[in-house]
Structure 1
Amino acid sequence: MGASENLGIPADVKRRKVILPGKEIEIALQDWGGEGPLALLHHANGFCAALWAPVAEQLRSQFHVVAMDARGHGDSGMPQEGATPESFSWALMADDLGQVAHVLLEETGESQIALGLGHSFGGTLTLAAESQHPGLYERLVLVDPVIPSTAWATPERIESQSGMVERARRRRSRWASHAEAHDQLSTKSLFANWTPSAFDLYIQEGLLEGENGEVALKCPGEVEAQIFGNSLSLNLDEVLAGVRTPARLLWARHGIFPREVFERVCAVLPGAQLVEADAGHLIPMEKPDWVVENVLDFCSLA
């Protein structure tokens, strides 16, 4: 059994919310504590901070670990205007991340976030936050980040993206109970390679319980769809031009992007490293221990 097989969020993890200046939106944080420098973790589209638990539990022996829920996800608030292209633009959400980082730096008195760890669109937002706020992070580990660029937006990829948007909008979002959600979702191919603890965390933390025990996705399908549909709103060339921070990209061999896409990104980022994962796109839910090993190795803490 791997080090990541503990279930649930430990009782000593502090859950709190911060209100972003000028935005009047609450962002939920899970503060795992730890005696080391700050590590700020960002999840993938449609998921939540809690899914970092198997990784965060191990990293807090070396870092002060904080995981955040993006707007419209997990326990964070929704924009007052609802799910619109403007309220879920990638640049705006990267700025959310940067603001959270500055709140943490002000609280701790540190000058940098030692580790920015992001998965999928969370990896892209982490990269964009560093570009918007140069020097925000000391190191970046980007787990199969979404690489939005018209340079490789082939007709096939555009069609695939459109399919993701529509599937998100049509996705079932309500069940009679946690048990029914568990039974129905466990049959989906999306979760086939997840560790049992990751799937249980999603059922426990990704659903909101209402009256009579009914549950619903905390991240509405329309939010997920807006984010998928907005990916090309981020100018990747501008983002990459603003990043000089050491970075390691973890590429999923069985994921979304061909390896050459990541090789192009690494060629632009000074000294960037590319490591291949024998996994699908959802690497942290499939191989959390492997993610931890890469973080510690990259930060010379292994």
Structure 2
Amino acid sequence: MARLGATLLFSHGLGFCKETWEPVIRRLKRSPMLQREVAAYVTYDQPFHGTNRDESVPAEVYYKDGNPNSPRVRHVMNDWVGVTSEAAYEQVQRLNAAAKGGPRGPLIGIGHSLGAAALWATEARHPGTFDGLILFEPVVGESDEVYEKNVDFMVATTLARETKWCVSRSPYT
């Protein structure tokens, strides 16, 4: 019986979208070593990213301990591990449903940053989901003084960004 090719499931980092993997996938598809080894390359958008953007879910700005130099945002994505690992698991369930219970090759999760943490958490919550994981710079949620100062800076910088642009186009076209 012929061996079934692997499915590579790509999960992007915070603030990015599934298209960030396109250059990587193009190179992998051209690799002679992978021609017969990979059956499918799959990407998806994390919740509140790319095609899953949802502005109907409100966010609330507040200041940690009342300090105007420590802005924070309350949003469903504050539980980023739970939200993104659930999204990754749902994507795997869709892949399994598409296979209609038939045989499939190995499922390899490939993630960067938030995407890596999402895949890692998915495997921890649902052991055996993946046959392998390739994780680049997975985010871990340890909190200390340096972390808090970084959060202050990142949230303040993000809140200062423009939210609308006159032209919407993909940088990949």
Query: Fold match, TM over 0.5?
Result: yes
Measure how far apart 1:160 and its partner are: 0.8
Cα–Cα, structure 1 residues 126 and 141, in superposed 2: closer, same or farther, change >3 Å? same
Measure how far apart 1:74 and its partner are: 0.8
- Report the count of equivalent residues: 146
Give the TM-score of the pair, scaled to structure 1.
Answer: 0.44
Deviations, residues 90-145 of structure 1 (Å, cap 9, x unaligned): 21221111011111022123567521011111110110011111100111111111
Pairing partner for 1:166 from 121, 133, 156: 156
Cα–Cα, structure 1 residues 174 and 77, in superposed 2: closer, same or farther, change >3 Å? closer
**Inter-partner Cα distance in structure 2 for 1:110 and 1:92:** 29
Q: Specify the SS of the correspondent of 1:200.
A: coil
Q: Name the % identity.
A: 25
Cα–Cα, structure 1 residues 171 and 80, in superposed 2: closer, same or farther, change >3 Å? closer
Is 1:38 the counterpart of 2:7? The answer is yes
Q: Specify the SS of the correspondent of 2:22.
A: helix
Q: What does residue 111 of structure 2 align with?
A: 118
Q: What does residue 94 of structure 1 align with?
A: 85
Equivalent AA in structure 2 for residue 104 of structure 1: L
Give the TM-score of the pair, scaled to structure 2.
Answer: 0.73
Answer 1 or 2: higher relative contact order, Cα 8 Å, separation at least 6.
2
Q: What does residue 65 of structure 2 align with?
A: none
Cα–Cα, structure 1 residues 118 and 83, in superposed 2: closer, same or farther, change >3 Å? farther
- Aligned 8 A contact 2:5 2:106 in 1: no
Q: Unaligned regions of 5+ residues in structure 2, if any? A: 30-34, 61-73
**Inter-partner Cα distance in structure 2 for 1:65 and 1:92:** 23
- Aligned 8 A contact 2:8 2:107 in 1: yes
**Inter-partner Cα distance in structure 2 for 1:155 and 1:55:** 36
- Give the RMSD, CA atoms, in angstroms: 2.6
Q: What does residue 200 of structure 1 align with?
A: 171
Equivalent AA in structure 1 for residue 156 of structure 2: E
- Aligned 8 A contact 1:97 1:129 in 2: yes
Is 1:177 the counterpart of 2:167? The answer is yes
Deviations, residues 45-103 of structure 1 (Å, cap 9, x unaligned): 11100010011123343421100001111112527534474622221221111011111
Is 1:132 the counterpart of 2:103? The answer is no
Q: Unaligned regions of 5+ residues in structure 1, if any? A: 1-34, 180-198, 205-302
**Inter-partner Cα distance in structure 1 for 2:122 and 2:171:** 30
